[in-house]
Structure 1
């Protein structure tokens, strides 16, 4: 099988890199990682060696290059169907794609004011206009998915899926900024935090050098 290589940014900060990492780890396939520190003088040049968009993440599978976190996850779902990265039920799969797409394109206030920082603890910070509404919407999504599709496991659609990979960085933000959650959302947060792949990523991210721009 061709070599899989995932190129990511600094793990402490790069939420977009975390998403396909979790999906790829879930497939059980061996892969190599290239971690490129963000916000240093040669960051763009180093990323450009791998990514035509000059952004991370990017996946190389043999001679094939796929960029964008959602495109990578969709590719993994097709390349490794045994991993069942999308729900098997058509209705559940449609909703999973919808909530994933909403995360991919939305929640601008939450992204801007509660950036991912695995090492930090900043309770009470980031409460800018629009953030409370984003937090409420995330919890509503989690409650709806768990209530309608969560039988058979602790994740949004029971089994781990791409949707969980996309909301995992939000879970870490809620820890960093000490966001109070309802009971269903808190239980889901804890299930995501217990993922071995997320724990490994977090440990490695916390050991990276600090980047003042993001701290």
Structure 2
């Protein structure tokens, strides 16, 4: 009997100690969470009023809706029978086929033939003129820095030098004369973004396929 009461007392003491430690942990957690949030807000304010606001917008992109969207794509799809599929091969195949239909060539829409006010006398022969190195140079110079790369993982900054411009000029001139481009140029990285007010995030066509190209 004594042992039973002793064990019960130990259990009560253990429960009380656990509750006390949990409350202490929760208080510390809230305290350091508030401190962290205040520090992050201060960092954002400092970046906002600094001379280089790129850091501010880069920091903004790492929080909030960006992270929510990156986490909302499940490895699951709903098939035509309404059954949820989680097999990786089936999921990838569904994404591939659904996005492939967006670029189907079965569109039977026809361009209107009765277009008025068309300038047929404009000389457009210069469009067939050979591409010059200066054109390539100006295109490279005007390209924006700090932008997402395509499937080749080559940032714009890497191309802004004389050697790269010469190489690009040779490649682009060859493409223009042969009428062909490298197969890698026809590929892109699709970054799906869930459409607003979407009822099911397991349907690929409920996403906008934002594509990064080379």
TM-score calculated relative to the size of structure 1: 0.22
Determine which structure has more spread, i.e. the larger CA radius of gyration: 2
RCO greater where, 1 or 2, for CA within 8 Å and sep 6 or more?
Answer: 1
TM-score calculated relative to the size of structure 2: 0.22
